[in-house]
Structure 1
Amino acid sequence: MRLALAQLEVEAAAVDSNVDRAVDAIERAAEEGADCVALPEIFDVGYFAFDAYARNAEQLGGETHRRISAAAAEHDVSVLAGTVVEDLAASADAGESVPAEEGYANTAVLFDSDGERRLVYRKRHLFGYDSAEAELLVPGEGLQTAELGGHTVGVTTCYDLRFPEQYRQLVDSGVTLVLVPSAWPYPRVEHWKLLPRARAVENLIYVGAVNGSATFEDATLVGRSTVYDPWGTTLASAADDPTIVYADCDPERVKAVREEFPALEDRR
């Protein structure tokens, strides 16, 4: 599977422009042969635009998801629609299963190449250090996986990287590739370089960590979207400017590494 990480320029509270850039990136990645395109965390509103969350929140299947789903189908490519701020009450009214009947969530959706929803993940670990996320949003419950390009795919979001037990839960579900939409800021760049790689190495999986490229009033994102293979080798990595990086993620590589170095069998 050829994976594309779309490190988008993200403007605070500029939803239409941000989604336009996402749709354009999907088209460009498909033209380069991508099978799956991953977008960053809260790419529509901008993670640090906290004052804009409530007025721009959408239900599952709202306008942002409709546009991303349509782009996936038009260009015959699967898309992880980063995350958006989900209006849980609106989703509940539409018959969706939600963790709370009101409030907002940080929600990722994976669409297949027909534009059909394959996975929904609501961020479980909400960040409260120099961030209003933990005050504004409701944490998700549970994990989902999807079959895609020969991989069993899971999703975690940004701060989830600091909780390795969540990755072990995914591995126990058969996951071979984890996509990590993020909005990771300076000055924690060294953590960003370490944590996705550590999750790949300890679980013998592919990890595709996709960050945004943005400067907000109080934060600048580090970019550096990266794909790691199950041995921790860097397959593709960006600098901090908007770009798309590509990597071939072979599910047979996971099997080969686990046979050569069967560390997961020694868990106690």
Structure 2
Amino acid sequence: MKLALAQIAVEGGDVAANVDRATDAIESAAARGADLVALPEIFNVGYFAFETYQRNAESLTGPTLTRISDLADEHDIAVLAGSIVEDLSLTDGETPAEEGLSNTSVFFDRDGRRQAVYRKHHLFGYESAEAELLVPGESLGIAEFEGVTVGMTTCYDLRFPELYRDLAEEGATLLLVPSAWPYPRVEHWNVLAQARAIENQCFLAAINGSGSYEDATLIGRSTVYDPWGTLLASTGDDPELVVRDIDPTRVEQVREEFPAWHDRRR
């Protein structure tokens, strides 16, 4: 599988420009032969533009996700649109609450069909308004894509290993983490992502944005780890498209070679 991470520049509140950059990244990933491309957290609104969440919130069939769906179909590429601010009152079914806003990722297959929806479980409250503005999700995000079970999480979720163990126990072997991770917590980003890959013996790809908004600057550093915890790809803090081949059979090879996964006792 050829996996692409779209570390795009995200301007707070400028939805049109951000979606245009996401479009360019998807088209570039498809041109480079990627099977799956993943976008950062709240890539259309900008994570730290909290004051714009309400007016820019959309449904699962709103303009941003409709455009992403159309691009997936047009370019024959799966897309993890991770994530947007979803207005739950506009979305029928699959909702954890009748109203409120959610940090929502959607997985589209090559035909632009919605395969899975994930609403961020762990809402960030430290120097952030996310926990005040949004409603947490309750369900696991799992998508089946061409023989690979993909587990969906978001940013702050990285600090909660039990979520990743739940996904791995459900069969996920590729864990995707759209993020808006800021300075100064670079060491946490590196260590937590690698640890989630090692302890679950899965591939893990963390997709961050690039850019600044008021006092927050994203660290970039989108990364891919293999099931042994080996770093396969990484970026700096500038916008970049990372394309990397991953071998799904590597998961079982590592688990057979070093059987920590099979030696678990509950």
Give the TM interval when normalised to the shorter protein: over 0.9
Q: CA deviation at 1:218?
A: 1.7
Structure 2 match to 1:203:
200
Q: 1:179: Cα distance to partner?
A: 0.6
Give 2:45's aligned amino acid: V
Distance 2:256 2:146 in 1: 21
Counterpart amino acid of 1:224? R
SS at match of 1:263: coil
Query: Is the 8 Å Cα contact of residues 182 and 219 (structure 2) preserved in structure 1?
Result: yes
Q: Identity rate of aligned residues, in percent?
A: 67
**Equivalent-residue separation in structure 1 for 2:116 and 2:256 (angstroms):** 29
Q: Report the equivalent of 2:127.
A: 130
Instruction: Report how many aligned residue pairs link the two structures.
Output: 265
Residue 148 of structure 1 corresponds to 145
Q: Partner of 1:118 in structure 2?
A: 115
- The match for 2:35 is 35
The 5-angstrom pairing of residues 64-79 of structure 1 reads 64-79=64-79
For structure 1, which segment, 139-148 or 63-72, has the greater mean C-alpha deviation from structure 2 after superposition? 139-148
Aligned to 1:160: 157
2:2·2:244 contact (CA, 8 Å) conserved in 1? yes
Match of 1:189 in 2: 186
Counterpart in 1 of 2:16? Answer: 16
Aligned residue type for 2:24:
D
- Which letter does structure 2 place at the counterpart of 1:79? V
- Matched residue SS, 1:265: coil
User: Which residue of 1 is the match for residue 51 of structure 2?
Assistant: 51
2:224 match = 227
SS at match of 1:72: helix
**Once the 2 structures are TM-superposed, how far is the Cα of residue 214 of structure 1 from its aligned partner?**
1.2
Distance in 1 (CA, whole Å) between partners of 2:189 and 2:23 is 26
**Structure 1 stretches lacking a partner, 5+ long:** none
- Find the residue that maps to 2:13 and give its secondary structure: coil
Matched, 1:248 2:245: yes
User: Which segments of structure 1 move beyond 4 Å, counting only runs of 4 or more?
Assistant: none
User: What TM-score do you get using the length of structure 1 for normalisation?
Assistant: 0.98
> 1:96 deviation in Å?
2.1
1:61 corresponds to: 61
Q: CA deviation at 1:84?
A: 0.2
Q: Displacement, 1:129?
A: 0.1
